[in-house]
Amino acid sequence: MNTVAKAFTLGRPALVGYLPAGFPTVDDAIEAAQAMAQSGADVIEIGLPYSDPLMDGPVIAAAVHRALSSGTRIRDVLRTVEAVASTGTPTLVMTYWNPIDQYGVRNFARDLDKAGGAGLITPDLTPEEAGPWLEASDEFGLDRVFLVAPSTTGARIEAVTRHCRGFVYAASLMGITGTRAAVSGDASALVERTRQHTDLPVAVGLGVSTKEQAAEVAGYADGVIVGSAFVARLLGAGSQTQALTAVRELTAELAAGTHSLRPERTA
């Protein structure tokens, strides 16, 4: 069984890095994600390209569009997961629900498990609509990461986190992904509210792009999630060699910030 649990038992916050499969090519994406894993990321999210990415900002949306245009399919996502998980770093798939539903929920869970994947992050799936996924994830021992946001009520946080496994994804703000000058001030309060309902690690995403921001979030959260900043580095690279260098450098910077602090857990 491959789970993200070990990433949150190292005595300090975990760095969670995201890259979409298939961008700029399937093989290049594998190399970039492996470089991230080897440079300090504790968990890797592999994005499953989807044609209607409601939560994705312009940077990730551009990369996903190119991945789809080049013919990236679910089999390529699973191959990417297998290659990245072989580094020993827990590897999740970040996906909208429609592609999994079309593939077959149990079929995907089975194939993800075979590839060594740890589980799914599902931004548009609610626990009430996740019956088949709850069953399949139980059968194959996969983590299931649902999201909470600043607008989520206490009762709703309790309902969502009850079905999470691995960690809880705390979206720092209401909106789409993307780098920002500052992390939302709502994030710390959301982490505190979420911890009132679960003992699972709480990782914060949306808006983190610098070592300083990572350190800030690591001061109160169990994990720091970064996506758009990595994708932007790939978009701005003139070659695969430059892309790998940029990913390694950014990962090392963010890891230094994330790993510098251990969050104080409150009862």
Percent of the chain with pLDDT strictly greater than 70: 92
Question: Is residue 75 scored above 80 in pLDDT?
Answer: yes
pLDDT tens digits for range 95-147? 999 999 999 999 999 999 999 999 999 999 999 999 999 999 999 999 999 99
Confidence band, pLDDT 50/70/90 cuts, at residue 51: confident
Tokens of 79: 């191959």
Residues that are catalytic: 45, 56
97's CB contacts (< 8 A; 6+ apart) are 122, 124, 125, 129
What is the Cα–Cα distance from 107 to 21, expressed in whole angstroms?
19
Tokens of 174: 């209401």
Percent of the chain with pLDDT strictly greater than 90: 83
Q: Are 142 and 117 in contact (CB under 8 A)?
A: yes
Tokens of 194: 């979420």
Mind giving me the DSSP string for 167-205? -EEEESSSS-----SS--THHHHHHHHHHTT-SS-EEEE
**In the CATH scheme, what is the code of domain 5-144+208-258?**
3.20.20.70
The model's pTM: 0.92
Q: What is the pLDDT, as a whole number, of residue 178?
A: 41
What is the Cα–Cα distance from 125 to 132, expressed in whole angstroms?
11
Q: Are 144 and 95 in contact (CB under 8 A)?
A: no
Q: What is the pLDDT, as a whole number, of residue 207?
A: 81
